[in-house]
Amino acid sequence: MYLLFCLSIRKINGEKEGEAILTAKKEDGTIITLSNEMEKEQLRDWRKKVNFYCPQCDDPVHLKVGDIVIPHFAHENQASCTASFSEGESQIHLEGKRQLYEFFLKNEQEVQLEPYFSALSQRPDLLVTTNSNQVPIEFQCSTIPVNIIKQRTNGYLSAGMRPIWLLLTPAKIRSLPQGVCAYDFSKFHESFFTYQTPEGLVFLTYNPQTKQFHYFSNLIHISGKRYIGIHRVLPIKMQTFPFARPKTATSNELNEYVKIYSANRIKFLNSRVLLNRKGINDPFLRCCYELRIHPLELPSWIGLPVPFSTEFREHSCEWQIRLLRFLMRKGLRISNLSKQLAKTFIRELDHPSYNQVKGCIAYRDLLLSAGIDSLQDVGDFSDEKIVQLFAERLLAKRNED
């Protein structure tokens, strides 16, 4: 089977956009795949002497060898080839897919570039075939609607294939130091998160310019776009397939989690008090007022990270105190919280989802395990207890599936 790698090259130096492929065939049917090892002088000699054709549509293609875009073949009449792409792709996308293709070959994997699944009308960047599975690999370099990512994923799943999505490492986080830190991830970034046990939420990206994979693992949601996680870098030459899994957090890293989370919790509380413009109409401050709690004196067990907290855009302090007020208004204790009551509560929040119900139940179970059943209970939530919470509930043992 020939390996076909098609993409659209953006307009460069005033040239017209055109379709490009990395594989073509000669007149005798011999398949030529352009690789990084090929010398440009050899390719320029071929360009003068050899006629090339598209392996898919048999139309003539030109071999282009320049100093900016990597060598590639281009159709004379791109509209006639069914390999045409609807989305333009950048030079870094082309280079990244070639690097990944060569990585799979070196790891003795059966791999295809841009195979077309006519039944799905989908074309992954690469397709890796193992003894038991076909794995589509999507290397995404541009921002696209999240619903398109979901549609493409569902298409592969419907055909019995579980895809792997790799995002081009965002520029703003490429140079960040390795270790525990706080990060801002958008909804688009979140669509690439996967869940692994025991590593928790993992965000895997690739940077062709440095030939490095960037792992952001053990991600814990703070509020909005803010997360805490562990950043680690792995050169492609040290990568394996299936892709290497990040190490779990060490005891020192767990302490860093607690320090960063606690600092962000204090920052949140101060900002709601000092920068408030709504007065008592602010939902969070209104809850504090009704529960007779000063915002800066919230018990340490309000604002804890729990499984499924990613589903809440609000800070944990906010949705948890609103849950406690919800129970107080009904004259109920924490142990009385059922899934049905949790469903009723989340209707008060923005963008309610069923996983928020799971988050409420996880919070209930956490408090009850610490002997807390009402606001009057003190409970055991020392710094050591919170470290244990991060270790046991979020970073090691808890599966959110």
pLDDT in tens, 224-279: 899 999 999 999 999 999 999 988 788 888 889 889 998 999 999 999 888 877 77
As a whole number of angstroms, the distance between CA 73 and CA 83 comes to 13
The pairing of beta strand 164-168 with beta strand 200-207: parallel
**Closest of 39, 74, 82 to residue 53, by C-alpha:** 74
Q: How many CB atoms lie within 10 A of CB 119?
A: 9
Higher pLDDT, 16 or 315: 315
C-alpha distance from residue 102 to each of 66, 124, 138 (Å): 21, 16, 15
- Tens-digit pLDDT profile for residues 162-193: 999 999 999 998 889 999 999 999 999 999 99
Q: Two tokens at 345?
A: 């509560």
How confident is residue 380, by pLDDT bands cut at 50, 70 and 90? low
As a whole number of angstroms, the distance between CA 277 and CA 260 comes to 27
Amino acid (1-letter code) at residue 362: A
Q: The pTM is what?
A: 0.80
C-alpha distance from residue 121 to each of 6, 55, 124, 159, 381 (Å): 15, 19, 10, 12, 54
Model pLDDT, residue 94: 82
